[in-house]
């Protein structure tokens, strides 16, 4: 990934509705040798989406049942990965998987992310700063080649969910699919 990362478009799953959304992008950039910044930018008719509000950074579960943004991170080629969930309410979750959808565990001892949310009539920006090196062996000094999958679940004003990702494998939405890890960068 270059020094000035370019936003990557998230695509709506073919079976989902994208009526209220004009575009959704993610930009991922390393902040230092331990942290990443993930910036999700949603453009559209936000009044037609259910976007949870809140002020307090807090841990929560099942954020994917409503509007939330997600990042899946692994060391290149590894089976083990981590799933970050960020809601516009500033609720967050972090899970570890031993392999694709296997061995799921809540990561209790992780440093909480920093989440900043900015709203405008037709734009929502969520920036999350996360510490990833501590998850992958913080004592390691050598560079890490990371692979990332970015995704979002958007809930419309009728309660319908749409699924967005950098890449969708065929079939139903599956953010855990290995083909979804479409971004690579060194940390």
pLDDT digits (tens, 9 = 90+) for 33-83: 889 999 999 999 999 999 999 889 999 999 999 999 999 999 998 999 999
Given a cut of 90, whether residue 143 has pLDDT beyond it is: no
Least reliable range by pLDDT among 67-71, 117-121, 136-140, 170-174? 136-140
pTM, whole model, 2 decimals?
0.94
Given a cut of 70, whether residue 154 has pLDDT beyond it is: yes
pLDDT digits (tens, 9 = 90+) for 111-135: 999 999 999 999 999 999 999 988 8
pLDDT digits (tens, 9 = 90+) for 85-111: 999 999 999 999 999 999 999 999 989
C-alpha span between 117 and 131 (Å, rounded): 18
C-alpha span between 146 and 108 (Å, rounded): 22
Domains by residue range for the chain, with CATH = 8-186 (2.60.40.1190)
Assign 138 a pLDDT band (cuts: 50, 70, 90): low
Assign 1 a pLDDT band (cuts: 50, 70, 90): very low
User: Under 8 Å CB-to-CB from 51, ≥6 apart: which residues?
Assistant: 67, 88, 119, 124
Q: And the tokens for 100?
A: 């694709």
Write b or e for each residue in 148-172: b if 16 or more Cβ atoms lie within 10 A of its Cβ, otherwise e.
bbbbbbbbbeeeebbbbbbbbeeee
Contact status, residue 151 vs residue 166, Cβ threshold 8 Å? yes
- Residue 17, judged by CB atoms within 10 A of its CB (0-12, 13-18, 19+), counts as middle
DSSP state, residue 10 = P
From residue 82, alpha-carbon distances to 90, 102, 125, 177 in Å are 19, 12, 23, 13
């Amino acid at each position: 990934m270059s020094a000035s990362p370019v936003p990557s478009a998230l695509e709506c799953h073919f079976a989902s509705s994208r009526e209220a959304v004009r575009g959704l992008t993610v930009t991922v950039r390393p902040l230092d040798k331990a942290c990443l910044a993930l910036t999700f930018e949603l453009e559209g008719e936000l009044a037609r989406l259910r976007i949870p509000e809140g002020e307090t950074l807090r841990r929560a579960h099942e954020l994917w049942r409503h509007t939330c943004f997600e990042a899946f991170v692994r060391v290149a080629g590894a089976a083990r990965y981590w799933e970050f969930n960020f809601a516009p309410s500033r609720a967050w979750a972090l899970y570890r998987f031993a392999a694709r959808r296997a061995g799921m565990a809540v990561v209790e001892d992780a440093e909480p992310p920093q989440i900043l949310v900015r709203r405008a009539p037709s734009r929502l920006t969520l920036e999350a700063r996360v510490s990833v090196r501590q998850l992958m062996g913080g004592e390691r000094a050598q560079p890490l080649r990371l692979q990332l999958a970015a995704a979002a679940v958007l809930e419309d004003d009728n309660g319908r969910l749409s699924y967005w990702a950098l890449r969708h494998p065929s079939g139903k939405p599956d953010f855990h699919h290995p083909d979804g890890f479409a971004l690579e960068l060194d940390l």
